[in-house]
Structure 1
Amino acid sequence: MLDLKDILLKVRKGQIEIDEALEILKYLPFEDLGFAKIDFHRSLRRGVPEVIFCQGKKKEQIVKIVDAMMKKGSNIMGTRASEDVVLELKTITENVQYFKEARIFYIENKRVLKNKGKIAVVCAGTSDIPVAEEAAVTAEIFGNKVERLYDVGVAGIHRLFMNLNVLNEANVVIVVAGMEGALASVVAGVIDKPVIAVPTSVGYGANFNGLSALLTMLNSCAGGITVVNIDNGFGAGFAAHLINRLGGIEDEDTLS
């Protein structure tokens, strides 16, 4: 599918007829599949196409959504996707990348512009890595350079302090932590960058499936912390992308 600017340019140059352009444009707001309404205007509004949240959807529904998006030439990303979903998708396209730990699939149909800056993704413990990977892979798919710093929680804080260069070189830092969730406060207290904190459901009973980490992060006395929902690596990766792209695009000369 052509984006709006491409369509208008091709009409002006006489490369496509007005009736053909109208046929394309009528699907730009959204396409109604009955069980889903695909928002094709989202990439125009937000710079990123609609992302499929796979959890709770039937495999057949996901395949139909992906098929409709492929016909429009969109880049397609799905979160909380199982390997069974990816196997089903391979019946309609082999162009599927699957990031198992992050539970994300991605189908790239058009070039993604790259942001100049860097995002750091930091996690407290190895058990937090799946959520951290959801954040990291999301940010990478959206065109960001990502540096990972894993297993540097407060139980061995020297591991973090020996890698402060990773945090200082980033435009924004995502901090993923379960248990009591203290790592976000520590990171925000030693750097001058925005911190996006992600509480995870990792922990013993009094962790209350991530509630204790969430409350710790919300009650942090360190300034500059924004907190997303429990286990919401995708939300953190998306927010970090929006912050990082304010620093400009590496190949913006190609946009004219």
Structure 2
Amino acid sequence: MTSNLKAILERLSRGEISPEAAALEVNLHSYREVGRMAKIDPCRIDRIGIPEAILAEGKSPEDLTEIALSFFAASGAVLITRVSRDHLKALREAPFPDGADLVWEGRAKAVVVTKEGRERSSGGVVGILSAGTADLPVAEEARVTAEFMGCETISEYDVGVAGIHRLFPSLERMADVDSLVVAAGREGTLPAVVAGLVEAPVVGLPVSTGYGAGGGGEAALLSMLQSCSVMVVVNIDAGFVAGAFAAKIASRAANRRNI
């Protein structure tokens, strides 16, 4: 990174590139090595509007802690997903600097570490719906992600099509959201229904609830992909991706309102 940065600055000083082009190249080359196991990307949010999250799953508590400390030092804020009890214990014991605020989001199995007093509001609003209570953990991962990206969220859970009358009061409360994440397992009908009723863009989030033929989220995924309602669909249980995409839409909508 050091040699790349030096070359960019030399080209800038010679007038070969503009300050804007130099800033873009710096963002493209910026990363921080953590030992020999990881290369973190704290500038990702500046480059594409979506932060890098640390996936705890598959990492030892020791490696996860080292990565999280390095990421926090570089950016002052870190989102960690799919956190186990062992991971959580290690993170709580980690030597984060004074002023670091660690929050455990139990339903989402996520940890957010920020500097105390950090305020980051995009002005965007994301609605989060789930078809059933069993879909709630994945929906909560989407919520935590959207809030980490500075969006306000409105959540309504257990409003699936088996009792569709429950849905309409929830949609009334979400009339002014900029985007929606709709999580559903089993046959995955709810996102298509919602996308056919609301103006806001809908992100379909298939969940691995359900059993038998088409279980594990497969029927939900295929149902959403085959929907004649217009929406986007993420992979099974991809709560972070759904929340980040919805938050990016909402943030851009808020920015346009403020122009």
Q: What is the TM-score normalised by the length of structure 2?
A: 0.81
Q: Note if contact 1:120-1:166 (Cα within 8 Å) is conserved in structure 2.
A: no
CA drift at 1:73: 4.2
CA drift at 1:54: 0.8
Structure 2 residues not aligned, in runs of 5+: 1-25
Residue 30 of structure 2: aligned partner:
29
The CA deviation string for residues 15-40 of structure 1, in whole angstroms up to 9 with x for no partner, is xxxxxxxxxx9xx7122220111123
5 Å matches for 1:1-256? 29-32=30-33, 33-91=35-93, 92-93=95-96, 95-109=101-115, 111-223=118-230, 225-248=231-254
Q: Note if contact 2:126-2:151 (Cα within 8 Å) is conserved in structure 1.
A: yes
Q: Note if contact 1:86-1:96 (Cα within 8 Å) is conserved in structure 2.
A: no
Which whole-Å CA distance do the structure 2 matches of 1:221 and 1:64 have between them?
A: 46
> Taking every aligned residue pair, what percent have the same amino acid on both sides?
39
Q: What is the TM-score normalised by the length of structure 1?
A: 0.82
After superposition, the Cα gap between the structure-2 partners of 1:123 and 1:88, relative to the gap in structure 1 and judged at 3 Å, is: same
The residue matched to 1:222 in structure 2 has which SS?
coil
CA drift at 1:193: 1.3
The CA deviation string for residues 161-197 of structure 1, in whole angstroms up to 9 with x for no partner, is 2332123221111100001000111101111111000
CA drift at 1:48: 4.1
64-73 vs 226-235, greater mean Cα deviation: 64-73
> Runs in 1 of length 4+ with deviation above 3 angstroms?
none
CA drift at 1:123: 0.5
CA drift at 1:156: 0.3
CA drift at 1:84: 1.9
Which whole-Å CA distance do the structure 2 matches of 1:73 and 1:230 have between them?
A: 29
Structure 1 residues not aligned, in runs of 5+: 1-24
CA drift at 1:146: 0.5
55-64 vs 87-96, greater mean Cα deviation: 87-96
CA drift at 1:59: 0.8
Which whole-Å CA distance do the structure 2 matches of 1:40 and 1:124 have between them?
A: 34
Which whole-Å CA distance do the structure 2 matches of 1:245 and 1:184 have between them?
A: 21
The CA deviation string for residues 197-238 of structure 1, in whole angstroms up to 9 with x for no partner, is 000010021133101000000000112x10000011110000
Which whole-Å CA distance do the structure 2 matches of 1:48 and 1:108 have between them?
A: 16
Residue 6 of structure 1: aligned partner:
none
Amino acid at match of 1:216: S
Q: What is the number of residues matched between the two proteins?
A: 228
Which whole-Å CA distance do the structure 1 matches of 2:199 and 2:166 have between them?
A: 19
